[in-house]
Copies of this chain bind each other. A is one copy, B any other.
Amino acid sequence: MSATVSPLAPSAFPVMPTLAGIRLATHECAIRYKGRTDLLLVEMDAGTKVAGVYTRSLTCSAPVDWCREASAKGSARLLIVNSGNANAFTGAAGVASVERTVEAAAKEFGCKKSEVFVASTGTIGVVLPDERITENLPAARAKLTEAYWHEAAKAIMTTDTFAKGATRTATIDGQVVTINGIAKGAGMIAPDMATMLSFIFTDANLPHDVLQDLLKKGADRSFNAITVDSDTSTSDTLLLFATGKAGHDSVKDASDKRLKDFKAKLFDLLLDLSHQVVKDGEGATKFVEVTVTGAAGNRAAKTIALSIANSPLVKTAIAGEDANWGRVVMAVGKSGEKADRDKLSIAIGGVQVAKDGQVVPGYDEAPVTAHMKGQNIVIETDVGIGKGRATVWTCDLTHAYIDINGSYRT
């Protein structure tokens, strides 16, 4: 937790309603941090279903391996998250840590091991002192309560400058359901490396397959469409838990019309949380939306959009409030996706800057420069090839990023 809050932070943590069947607790285990909570425990009623989306890293952490396997089984009763130690690149010791934690938790709460989900965030390459978690499970258990969302979001922070939460209500078959989510981020954070973690909870009554389908689709256009520095954590974990307490009939098909509103609200919540992660990007002073249209396909559009959003030259230009559209052209060109140099159009802040491969006649930079001075930057590029489109979000690259990531681990 940083002393200086990101200038892009929301004004306050949202008021989050309680969710029947979900109880939360936080605890100080002194895993690495002193004088703050570093453990989140969530107990869920029997019957809770789960879905997960994980980092694509091929050197992912032991907790990710565990959750990937457990979430495929579909049922959940416990979530245990620690901050301060990522239990990543810890070899056989890391796997054993997860095993011991899960076993102790399953015994303490009387559930199956496959119903216990673990996530760790913080320093990489240091063996997790899992006994600090397991020893404290009874004490944390004694504190479980329903109205504790803000504290839950705080316990999982590492170098985050603000706690991240969001809530939505939706109706399924005439029944009101609630979705609560918390997240931590952003990017790969000092002192070593951190993690994007997000946990979503709902009282909707939906089976694993439907949850998995919705979460995957929602992540593709939210958590998988954000980038701070193009670096992929070994631990990124997004879990969706559904208690089924809302009382409506279970809906067995993700494309069922009765899920239309739920799906929209879930996607909106995922987008909100993922944007909060970007807004807490290391050193971020601008929130940047990059939309690509006219690409060969949606996948090509996303590749081009990420090429723009990840370009250090584009990001430093934004930090310098410079409407340097030439760098956008460069990023399109290096993406490897099909583009036609002489059909390329670029708009910044809604103002057409380049068209048909060259600067627009009589280009007036003044309104674009004014836009660049704001906190929310919008870059639109049409590559003139087809109908593919995608939007991604990022932040600028500033001196503070260098300060945060270039300082020695202490």
Contact = CB atoms under 8 A, between A and B. Distances in A.
A193 B334 contact: no
Interface in A262-314: 310-313
Given A125-B358, A231-B330, A320-B405, 7 more contacts: A57-B330, A58-B333, A58-B335, A229-B313, A230-B310, A320-B408, A399-B399
25 contacts: A57-B330, A57-B333, A58-B333, A58-B336, A58-B338, A59-B339, A59-B344, A89-B341, A89-B344, A89-B358, A89-B359, A92-B342, A92-B358, A125-B358, A188-B313, A188-B330, A193-B324, A193-B327, A231-B312, A231-B330, A232-B330, A320-B408, A324-B409, A397-B406, A398-B406
A405 B89 contact: no
B402 A231 contact: no
A355 to B, nearest CB: 9
A342 B229 CA distance: 26
Contact of A57 (B59, B320, B334): B334
A322 B406 contact: yes
Given A229-B313, A354-B89, A329 B406 contact: no
Given A331-B231, A357-B91, A358-B90, A58 B322 contact: no
Contacts of A334: 56-57, 231-232
A56 B334 CA distance: 7
Given A326-B88, A406-B319, A312 B230 contact: yes
Contacts of A188: 313, 327, 330
A120 interface: no
Contacts of A92: 342, 358
Nearest to A231: B313
Interface in A95-147: 123-126
A321 interface: yes
Q: Is the interface of A mostly helix, strand, loop or mixed?
A: loop
A317 interface: yes
A401 interface: yes
A54 B290 CA distance: 28
A123 B409 CA distance: 39
Contacts of A409: 322, 324
A123 to B, nearest CB: 8
Contacts of A405: 312-313, 316-317, 320
Nearest to A235: B330
A234 B58 contact: no
A234 B91 contact: no
Interface string A153-184: 00000000000000000000000000000000
A115 B341 CA distance: 26
Nearest to A356: B91
A397 to B, nearest CB: 7
A165 to B, nearest CB: 27
A28 interface: no
Contacts of A342: 91-92
Enumerate the 7 nearest inter-chain pairs by beta-carbon distance, A residue then B residue, closest first: A59-B333, A320-B406, A57-B333, A232-B334, A91-B358, A124-B326, A316-B405
Nearest to A400: B402
A251 interface: no
Given A89-B354, A313-B229, A313-B231, A330 B402 contact: no
